[in-house]
Amino acid sequence: MSARRAAPWMLLAVTTYTCAATEDMDFVAEHLQEAAIDNRLLTLPLSYTDNLTNEDWSVQLSAFASRVESGNLRLTGPGVGAGVRRQLNRTWAILGLGFIDGLSFSGDTEQRPVAPIFSTSFPVSLPADATLSNQRGDVRLWGLGLGMRYQPESRPYSIAFGVLRERVRPDGYRVDYRLTSGESAGTAGTLDYSTEYSYWVPFATIEWRITHGEWQFSPRFSAGVPIPTWGWRGRISGPGFDIAGDTEKIGRGRHMGDSFGGFGFGITYSPWGLTMDAGALLNQALLEPRIHKGVDRAWLLNFSWEP
């Protein structure tokens, strides 16, 4: 077969594979939220650029802009945080931190399977292909935490660890669907993932500081483990029905609350006390789509300031 004749068949094969590989709406709605949780765990206000004398205090403020995409679906928005440090002696300090993130769910019309996993009984034929539209709602994250910081005297590294109380609240997190395949083709309704998940999150980070003139470079590794995990919750409505469920209650497991580990690299201009986290930007852009299948792109731009 000539290259010219083969080209249309190759294109058809690629297109067919792409369509077959498209993740269903439940799968993507879950992973968009979990990517947002990863963004926050990677940017907790725990990094400090100097050493304090005994009983001194210091504070830091942080802010980020984020965007997570899957196909035509988007979860975007800002987050802000604050940290406080109280030096106990030459090597140990106590840490306090808090944050609040407000993300918006939006998108464009797209084709994606509808295959809810939060229930086993539906009055329509599912799974089925569908046209999805009118994506809307918010995902809010907020939390408070306490920790300790160990900075050996005359050493370039520090270790911080502690526990965080975090809440994740999808609010009005909805999308409209119209089934386009199967016995129920033409049926239209709404998928709604509004709920609230609460976690205790043990966290730890190890960081190095490299000073060069007025600049400081701080590679680090951060990890967190949300406890407990929760079942995936959702609701589907349509003509004459409205069904809500939870995967944990029907024996389909706990899906919300993945452990996380990621890399950061702070670049600080010391006279201003201003840090840009280039490592978090690269970590999320390169690794988040591998960690959470279905996430196509993840962008995270984080700054912190120590006045």
Predicted local distance difference test score (pLDDT) of residue 152: 87
For residues 11 and 2, what is the distance between their CA atoms, to the nearest angstrom? 14
Helix (H) or strand (E) holding 10: helix 3-20
Q: Which amino acid is at 94?
A: I
Which tokens is 86 given? Answer: 């109280």
**Other beta carbons within 10 Å of 229:** 16
Are 248 and 287 contacting, i.e. CB atoms less than 8 angstroms apart? Answer: no
Tokens 């206000």, residue? 45
Reported for 16-25, long-range contacts at CB under 8 A and 24+ positions apart, including other chains, are 19/111, 22/71, 22/111, 22/112, 22/113, 23/70, 23/112, 23/113, 23/293, 23/294, 24/112, 24/113, 24/114, 24/115, 24/127, 25/112, 25/113, 25/114, 25/115, 25/130, 25/132, 25/175, 25/177, 25/191
**How many Å from the N-terminal Cα to the C-terminal Cα in the chain?**
69
Domain 24-305 listed as CATH 2.40.128 = yes
Helix (H) or strand (E) holding 290: helix 278-291
Q: Where are the domains of the chain?
A: 24-305
What's the pLDDT at 165?
98
pLDDT tens-place values along the chain, 307 residues long = 433 333 333 333 333 333 433 899 999 999 999 999 999 999 999 988 877 767 789 999 999 999 999 999 999 999 999 999 999 988 999 999 999 999 999 999 999 999 999 999 899 999 999 999 999 999 999 999 999 999 888 788 999 999 999 999 999 999 999 999 999 999 999 999 999 999 999 999 999 999 999 999 999 999 999 999 999 999 999 999 999 999 999 999 999 999 999 999 999 999 999 999 999 999 999 999 999 999 999 999 999 999 8
Phi, psi of 254 (to 5 degrees): -105, 120
Residue 106: closest CA among 147, 85, 75:
75
- Compute the Cα dihedral for 283, 286, 288, 291 and give only its sign: negative
Which residues on adjacent β-strands are paired with residue 190?
176, 237
pLDDT of residue 1: 41
